[in-house]
């Protein structure tokens, strides 16, 4: 075999190894992101139950409706399969209550921050 052929073969093997390593790393990172989202959802569910027990304004249907309205207004082309509550910020009183929703779709995750204004929930930010 010529020295040029050996160098080409070594380079090809090296490229294949690097490509496979990148695939494995990307898959591991995606799995960690999904696990992190699941743990945040579970924590938010527990916080929602505590907030709901403390006062009656934490209705998940109202939170989801505010997030859906904001998503339709800010990201009309974004299609999502699930809408998860990922953060509950229940401060004393009701004027400073906040929550964060995550809309999960094929194109990724869009976060919607909602805040309580009186008896209503309104979106503050879509990112």
Cα–Cα dist 124/118, whole Å: 15
Which residue carries 């399969």 as its tokens? 81
Tokens of 80: 């999502």
Can you give the pLDDT at residue 53? 45
- Mean pLDDT (the chain, rounded): 83
Measured in degrees and rounded to the nearest 5, phi and psi for residue 17 equal -60, -45
Does the pTM surpass 0.75? The reply is: no
Radius of gyration of the chain (CA): 23
43-91 residue pLDDT tens: 777 777 666 645 666 778 888 899 999 999 999 999 998 888 888 887 7
């Amino acid at each position: 075999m010529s020295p040029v052929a050996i160098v080409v073969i070594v380079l090809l093997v090296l490229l294949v190894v690097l490509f496979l390593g990148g695939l494995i790393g990307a898959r591991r990172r995606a799995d960690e992101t999904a696990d992190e989202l699941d743990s945040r959802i579970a924590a938010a569910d527990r916080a929602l139950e505590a907030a709901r027990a403390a006062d009656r304004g934490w209705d998940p249907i109202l939170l989801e409706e505010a997030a859906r309205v904001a998503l339709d207004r800010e990201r009309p082309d974004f299609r999502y399969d699930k809408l998860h509550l990922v953060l509950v910020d229940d401060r004393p009183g009701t004027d400073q209550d906040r929550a964060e929703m995550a809309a999960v779709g094929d194109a990724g995750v869009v976060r919607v921050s909602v805040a309580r204004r009186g008896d209503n929930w309104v979106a503050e930010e879509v990112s």
